[in-house]
Amino acid sequence: MSVQDLEISVDTVWMLLAAMLVFFMQPGFALCEAGFTRSKNTANILFKNFVDFMVGSVLFWFVGFGFMFGSDGAGFIGMPNFGDLSFYTNAAGLPTEGFLMFETVFCATSATIVSGAMAERTKFSMYCVYSFFISLIIYPVEGHWTWGGGWLCNSEAGSFMMNTFGAAFHDFAGSAIVHSVGGILALVGAICLGPRLGKYRNGKSTAIPGHNLMAAALGVFILWFGWFGFNPGSQLAASGEVNRVAISHVFLTTNLAAVCGGLGTMFTSWIKYGKPSFSLTLNGILAGLVAITAGCDLVSPLGSAIIGLLAGIILVFSIEFIDTKLHIDDPVGASSVHGVCGIFGTLMTGLFALDGGAFYGGGFGFFGAQCFGIICIDLWAAATGIILFWGIKKIAGLRVDKRIEEEGLDIYEHGESCYN
């Protein structure tokens, strides 16, 4: 075996290990969402997380991978591959099937973010329709613009981004591509559904507590653990000094953002409400993780701590604003955690990047590219989400009947209960 073959083998093992860690985020999301909602809907929520991965895996393998990584010459969308992977050759020599699995778990993550925001009132059949379309077209298209070699991340001389901003859009592991897309779709879905029964009375928000904070806490721990595959794994290589240094740096920046996000939320809630909120702090940790995902490879450890801290603070005000001012019922805060903090982290990359960031003498070209990129990606998510959810609502109905919502989706939608 040559040295090059050994390096590719090491890189492949690292990529697949990272894919396993990202896959393990699925039970993290499931536990977190179930814990933050009521016990009568637990089986339904867990089931939807399985559906996201099952439907997403089949569709992304069959056509989504081609839409995302196939070449069309125009940069908008690739060509469907219909299960044939021969069109793709990885530049680093990584096996195509392994790379497909790595990208599949990212697609499933974006899809499952929406589940919590639409919890406790969505028809299971119609959620399956949503899961079908995000894996088929919504995620692969914006993924093609970016990771698929499309126009937003094209850093070649003479490209649109280089001519306009002097820099290409950068999202290392998916603050925008995965999380903000999921967060925007979550917000649109929650708006189309309307609030849960009893959530708003006389114009005021009424708390509907989740049934198991222990499950939510375990879910956050699992997500935190999985993020060490999500971010460092996006290096897609572990062999050689450059890669081992890069992975180590991303591990550090990822963890610092998480802990500072949690601390920011804990102290903000303590000051604002008189007591430190455990449930908000759990989301604050996720807010820090989401925010650092775009620039974890480019920012310093201090920069990552600042980004995480600010994300944790912003989260408290974002959740309150969406709930009490906009009267949008998001049971798990997905639109704030993934949408708002995903956008925030993407923009902060343009300021805190050691190479090209505005705070480090790079001017505002890179920041402009980040602003433009996040606008394009999230406008796509919002437009397709509105068409999809309003279309479902008008054609087949998106929401369960009042009696089903009152008595719980577990029994009426699935004929079984999580707790007996």
**pLDDT at residue 265 above 90?**
yes
Distances 201 to 110, 112, 195, 323, 329 between C-alpha atoms, Å: 32, 30, 11, 13, 13
The tokens for 332 are 């798990």
Cα–Cα distance for residue pair 176/127, rounded to 1 Å: 23
Beta bridge partners of 353: 299
| Confidence class for position 420, pLDDT limits 50, 70, 90 | confident
CB 409 within 8 A of CB 120: yes
Beta bridge partners of 205: 200
Instruction: Please tell me the predicted confidence (pLDDT) of residue 19.
Output: 98
To the nearest 10 degrees (0 to 180), the angle between helices 181-193 and 365-395 is 30
Is 237 exposed, middle or buried (CB count within 10 Å of its CB: 0-12, 13-18, 19+)?
Answer: buried
CB 181 within 8 A of CB 173: no
**pLDDT at residue 72 above 80?**
no
The tokens for 398 are 């998106």
Q: Where are the alpha helices (DSSP H) in 231-353?
A: 240-273, 278-292, 301-320, 334, 341-352
Instruction: Give me the mean pLDDT over the 316-344 stretch.
Output: 98
Ordered domains of the chain (ranges, CATH): 3-414 (1.10.3430.10)
**pLDDT at residue 388 above 70?**
yes
The 8-class DSSP code of residue 398 comes to: S
Instruction: Give me the mean pLDDT over the 290-308 stretch.
Output: 98
| Confidence class for position 74, pLDDT limits 50, 70, 90 | low
- The pTM is what? 0.97
Instruction: Please tell me the predicted confidence (pLDDT) of residue 340.
Output: 98
Instruction: Please tell me the predicted confidence (pLDDT) of residue 282.
Output: 98
**pLDDT at residue 361 above 70?**
yes
Cα–Cα distance for residue pair 103/331, rounded to 1 Å: 28
| Confidence class for position 82, pLDDT limits 50, 70, 90 | very high
Q: What is the largest CA-CA distance in the chain?
A: 72
**pLDDT at residue 75 above 80?**
no
Cα–Cα distance for residue pair 10/22, rounded to 1 Å: 18
Q: Please, what is the average pLDDT of the chain?
A: 96
**pLDDT at residue 73 above 60?**
no
Cα–Cα distance for residue pair 402/121, rounded to 1 Å: 9
Cα–Cα distance for residue pair 321/333, rounded to 1 Å: 11
| Confidence class for position 231, pLDDT limits 50, 70, 90 | very high
Count CB neighbours of 402 within 10 A: 10
CB 409 within 8 A of CB 44: yes
**pLDDT at residue 305 above 80?**
yes
The tokens for 339 are 């949408």
Distances 300 to 98, 223, 296 between C-alpha atoms, Å: 31, 23, 8
Instruction: Please tell me the predicted confidence (pLDDT) of residue 364.
Output: 97
Instruction: Please tell me the predicted confidence (pLDDT) of residue 1.
Output: 76
**pLDDT at residue 164 above 70?**
yes
**Which of 76, 28, 82, 75 has the alpha carbon at shortest distance from 60?**
82
